[in-house]
A and B are shown apart, each in its own frame.
Chain A
Amino acid sequence: MNMQKNAVIAMILAGTTLLSACGTNNSGVANNSPAPSAITSGTEASADGGKLEILSGNVGGKTPEGNAEFEKELSKKTGLDVKLDKPASDFDQKVLTALSSGAKYDLIEVSDLAKLDAFIKQGVVTDLSDFVQNSKVLSDPAVIPTGEWDQVKGPDGKIYGVFSKFQGATMPIVRKDWLEKLNLQEPKTLDELYTVLKAFKEGDPDGDGKANTYGLSTSGLYDIQGIMSAAGLKYRYVMQDGKRTIPYATDAAIPMYEWFAKLVKEGIMDPNFITNDTAKMRNLFLTDRVGMVTYWDAWVGMFNNLKKTEDPNTTFQAEGMLSIQAEDGTILMRRGDPDFWIIPANAPHPEAAKKFLEFWNTQEGITLGSLGVQDYDYTLENGTYSLTETGKIANMDHGVPYWYNSTVKSPFPALPGVEDAMALSKQHATLELSLSTWPDAEKIVTNYALKAMSGQMAAKDAVAKMQKELKSANLIDE
């Protein structure tokens, strides 16, 4: 009986200890999270300890084995003991869970400027202004053009991130071979675009004798920027005389939504465009089901390369296209939010993180981020680079398919079509203005815009509803 009693007491004690351990750990996290400024000043003076813990969404190997090799190579190249945590899915949730639970990382990859704003407000990120300005590597405009830093600045003008790669723009991507087959020119106006898309639908461009092709497919509202450009409408917010406006919710958008509704009604536009994810949209393009999609410039090269790899004799030719020009000559292209690294305020080894950030923008870092690990993803013999089978699958993308540093050249020729597409992006693409109220506004805009485009609601009514709801929720000023 005594033994039983002792066992009960032991179990209760063990349970209590376990609980109190959890409690202590969590309260410790809360208490050990001093104000960002205190952490920053404290860590600047501390030694890095030679360790580096990274939470990454894109950077790393494509498989667990590849990631282990990448981690090893990263340690070797930087001289740090690197731990690279790359979750297979739900990266955003993993980041939030890590931050709120007090897990400590030295670097976290972020690809959403709205998230950066939230992180700044919540004291999560370290101010990197001094580090960037004093860094020989990062302050060099040849490595990162000076104007680009504005993207990762907070409302206070301080720099809170360092780019992990060059982010391009979205644009209409057209089947050049279909245009040639149907004796059509690349469309410059909305009317010409309609003619081309209609021909893609009705002219049997794939030559199988069946009416099974669509002119256009999209996924999500932001993708249509290249076409909304015809009315000079920029996605998200635009400030006019200090007032918040959303061009997609103005009367000027009505004829554009009517134009899309006409495409849907005539069967020219893929009717699944509302439920499409980007993978489905890409597959439609790659399987000759659709002649035009709106997507990232980098994918022009990847589309061509994928088809060429599948069939070396393919006639498939994707080409990036300029957005449709507005009457006043405006050309609007959508620049994507950048991918960048932040150093969390509770990073245990911020100096190691800074060392990594410089390394990542050098020749060695870029080679690792693009080609991958030597003798695993690629081989180098007598100055000649060759991709291994693993490297071919990775498609020269270990988080850095394209980069800012103009002094670093790829050892391989650019994928077909991508350079022309990127030249268009660099010339015309601009960032969108994403205010903190955008997530709420976006729900209203996308809801009614998609209804108008699909013909479920008259465009005029949809825009009127948008305006009414946006105003009543104080999401626009006029």
Chain B
Amino acid sequence: MRTIKKNAMFYIMMVPIVVYFVIFAYYPLVKGLQTSFQDYKLMGDRPYIGFDNYDLVIHDPSFWDALWNTLYIGGGILIVGFIAPLLIALSLNEVMKSWFKKTAQMLLYVPHLLSWVVIGGICIFLLSPDTGLVNMLLMKIFGMNPINFMADESWARSVMIGSAVWKDMGYNCILFLAGIAAINPSLYEAARMDGATRWEQVRYVTLPQLMNTMKVIFLLNTLGIFRIFDQIFVMRNPAIASKVDVLMMYTFQKGIMEIRFGPAAAASFFVVLFTLLLTVMVRKITRFDEV
């Protein structure tokens, strides 16, 4: 009690945040849970129907297709989106010319500031089979036939992964660079005195010292796997939908397009469950608690 009294001002300062989360996060969550057990109609009675909505969702093949697509695309974004910015951050760390480093960082960061509507438009423009820059280069340099990247199933997931990695590369790269900048310079000095080469300094000093930053970034990116939506909504089309429709898209279609809020709420709680499971797994594997 004494501690509470002592820190009363801090508790008061927390109240708006707590209220915010209760109203805009936890209350909708509870309402969503309630909806998932109801035969939810826009108006009138909304009787409780037990686990019928969950049963409907788990027996829907398109739900499992969407889960597989989510794991494929999300997993791709997670892995490539982790390794690529790490490599770039390590490379930029070796650059001595400050202007080049800053320019590269800025150029890498710009796509992160753009919305998916803009990125989707850029992708459609760049990857167009007739006037797109990518196909023009492929034809001029390699004499290849044009590829319809945005409408060909075999390319669909790669395009989604590539564009997502490109968009967020700069952001993750800056986080890695901040981690690298925080490494104690005396460690490099000691390594150099021991005769370590540049590669050995990276291998035995930078990477081990960056491990905690890497764990945090990996975990944060893992939390986003099941939340992919904007990108797919903007870039999908009927020809590739079966390969790129993710769980949030499934939820959107059930809820907004088909006006079936019960199954949509049930599907969204599967998303919550999967995210929870994946996060626990990643925490265990990366020994996150030791950070």
Q: Which one of A1, A22, A443 has the greatest number of beta carbons of chain B within 10 Å?
A: A443
Check B43 against A275 for contact (C-beta < 8 Å).
no
B153 touches A122 (CB 8 A): no
Q: Quick check: B44 and A33 within 8 Å, CB to CB?
A: yes
Q: Give the one of B44, B124, B242, B258 with max A CB within 10 A.
A: B44
Selected from A5, A275, A450, A451, the residue in CB contact (under 8 A) with B8 is A5
Nearest A residue to B35 via CB reads A100
Point out the residues of chain B lying under 8 angstroms from A119, CB to CB: 42, 259
Is B150 at the interface (CB under 8 A from chain A)?
A: yes
For residues 237 through 260 of chain A, which have their beta carbon under 8 Å from a beta carbon of chain B?
none
Chain B, residues 130-161, CB within 8 Å of chain A (1/0): the string is 10000000000000001010111100000000
Tell me if A118 is interfacial: C-beta within 8 Å of chain B: yes
A47 located at the interface, meaning its Cβ lies under 8 Å from any Cβ of chain B in the complex = no
Q: Say whether, besides A1-B5, A19-B23, A96-B259, A443 and B238 are in contact (CB < 8 Å).
A: yes
Are B15's CB and A443's CB within 8 A?
no
Cβ contacts under 8 Å, A274 to chain B? 148, 150-151, 237-239
Contacts of A34 in B (CB 8 A): 44
Q: Is A185 an interface residue (CB 8 A)?
A: no
A423 contacts across to B, CB distance below 8 A: none
Q: Known contacts A8-B11, A447-B242: does B23 contact A122 (CB below 8 Å)?
A: no
Give chain B residues whose Cβ lies under 8 Å from the Cβ of A451: 153, 239
A71 to B98, CA, bound (A): 58
Quick one: closest A residue to B13, CB to CB? A11
Tell whether A450 pairs with B239 under 8 Å between CB atoms, given A4-B12, A34-B44, A96-B42: yes
Chain B, 1-44, contact with A by CB distance < 8 Å: what is the 0/1 string? 00001001101100100110011000100010000000001111
Q: Smallest distance from the beta carbon of B245 to chain A beta carbons, Å?
A: 9
A12 touches B15 (CB 8 A): yes
A30 beta carbon closer than 8 Å to chain B: yes
Docked Cα-Cα span, A246 to B45, in Å, equals 35
> With an 8 A cutoff between CB atoms, is B257 at the interface?
yes
**Is A353 close to B, CB under 8 A?**
no
Asked if A154 is at the interface (CB within 8 A of a chain B CB), the reply is: no
Judging by beta carbons under 8 Å apart, are B256 and A22 in contact?
A: no
Most buried by B among A34, A93, A115, A447: A447
Mask of A258-297 contacts with B, CB within 8 angstroms, 1/0: 0000000000001110110000000000000000000000
* A92 touching B151, Cβ below 8 Å: no
Report if A68 contacts B (CB, 8 A).
no
Q: How far is the CB of B62 from chain A (nearest CB, A)?
A: 8
Within 8 A of A (CB), among B158-193: none
Contact flag A272-B130 (CB < 8 Å), given A15-B15, A96-B259? yes
Q: Which residue of A lies closest to B252 (CB)?
A: A93
The answer on a CB contact under 8 Å between A118 and B258 is yes
Given A19-B23, A93-B256, answer yes or no on A447-B18 (Cβ-Cβ < 8 Å).
Answer: no
Instruction: Report whether over half of chain B's contact residues are helix, strand or loop; otherwise say mixed.
Output: helix
Interface core residue of A33, A93, A122, A221 (most chain B CB under 10 Å): A122
Cα distance A124–B31 in the bound complex, in angstroms: 21
Which of A22, A35, A123 meets B23, CB within 8 Å? A22
Q: Chain A residue with minimal CB distance to B31? A: A26
- Report whether over half of chain A's contact residues are helix, strand or loop; otherwise say mixed: helix
Cα distance A473–B59 in the bound complex, in angstroms: 11
Whole-angstrom distance between the alpha carbons of A118 and B40 in the complex? Answer: 12
The listed residue (B128, B129, B238, B256) touching A450 by CB distance below 8 A is B238
- Binary CB contact string for chain A from 104 to 134 against chain B (1 if under 8 A, 0 otherwise): 0000000000010011011110000000000
Q: Which residues of B contact A118 (CB under 8 A)?
A: 258-259
A122 B42 Cβ-Cβ under 8 A: yes
Q: A271 to chain B: which residues have CB within 8 Å? A: 128-130, 146, 148
Given the contacts A8-B8, A272-B129, A19 and B22 also touching, CB distance less than 8 Å: yes
Q: Mark B120-131, 1 if CB is under 8 A from A, else 0.
A: 000010001110
**A1, A15, A115, A272 pick with most chain B CB within 10 angstroms:** A272
Min CB–CB distance A93 → chain B (angstroms): 6
User: Chain B nearest CB: distance from A456 CB in Å?
Assistant: 6
Q: Which A residues are CB-close (under 8 A) to B242? A: 443, 447
- CB interface residues, A 448-468, toward B, < 8 Å: 450-451, 454, 456
A443 and B66 CA atoms in complex are apart in Å by 13
CA distance A1 to B105 in the complex (A): 51
User: Is B92 part of the contact surface with A, judged by Cβ < 8 Å?
Assistant: no
Please give the distance in Å from B230's CB to the nearest CB on chain A.
13
Report chain B residues within 8 Å CB of A344: 43
Name A93's closest neighbour in chain B (CB-CB).
B256
B19 close to A99 (CB less than 8 A)? no
Nearest-CB distance from B180 to chain A (Å)? 40
Which residues of B sit under 8 angstroms from A443, Cβ to Cβ? Answer: 62, 238, 241-242
| A7 on interface, CB distance cutoff 8 Å | yes
Closest-CB distance, B14 to chain A (whole angstroms): 10
Report A-chain residues with C-beta under 8 Å of the C-beta of B9.
4
* Alpha-carbon separation in the docked complex, A23 to B31 (Å): 10
Q: Which residues of A contact B287 (CB under 8 A)?
A: none
Within B236-291, the residues touching A (CB, 8 Å) are 237-239, 241-242, 253, 255-259, 261
- In whole angstroms, what is the CA distance A298 to B237 when docked? 26
Question: Shortest beta-carbon distance, A326 to chain B, in Å?
Answer: 25
Assembled-state Cα–Cα distance A99/B257 (Å): 14
B238 touches A100 (CB 8 A): no
Using A19-B27, A96-B256, A439-B258 as known contacts, say yes or no to A36 and B42 having CB atoms under 8 A apart: no
Task: State A163–B257 Cα separation when bound (angstroms).
Answer: 22
Q: In the complex, A206 Cα to B12 Cα: how many Å?
A: 72
CA distance A5 to B9 in the complex (A): 9
What's the least CB distance linking B140 to chain A, in Å?
A: 17
Complex CA gap A21/B22 in Å reads 13
Chain A residues near B45 (CB, 8 Å)? 35
B18's nearest neighbour on chain A, judged by CB, is A15
Flag whether A395 is at the interface (Cβ < 8 A): no
Return the chain B residue nearest A453 by Cβ.
B239
CA distance A473 to B27 in the complex (A): 37
Whether A346 is near chain B, meaning CB under 8 Å from some CB there, is yes
Distance between Cα atoms of A12 and B15 in the complex (Å): 8
- List A contacts of B151 (CB < 8 A): 274-275, 450, 454, 456
Q: Which residue of B lies closest to A125 (CB)?
A: B43
Q: Are A35 and B22 in contact (CB under 8 A)?
A: no
CB contact under 8 A between A447 and B44, given known A275-B124, A275-B151, A439-B257? no
B residues 191-222 near A (Cβ < 8 Å) are none
7 residue pairs bridging A and B, Cβ less than 8 Å apart: A1-B5, A18-B23, A35-B44, A36-B43, A93-B256, A447-B239, A450-B151
The 4 closest A-B pairs by CB, nearest first: A446-B238, A274-B151, A123-B44, A450-B239
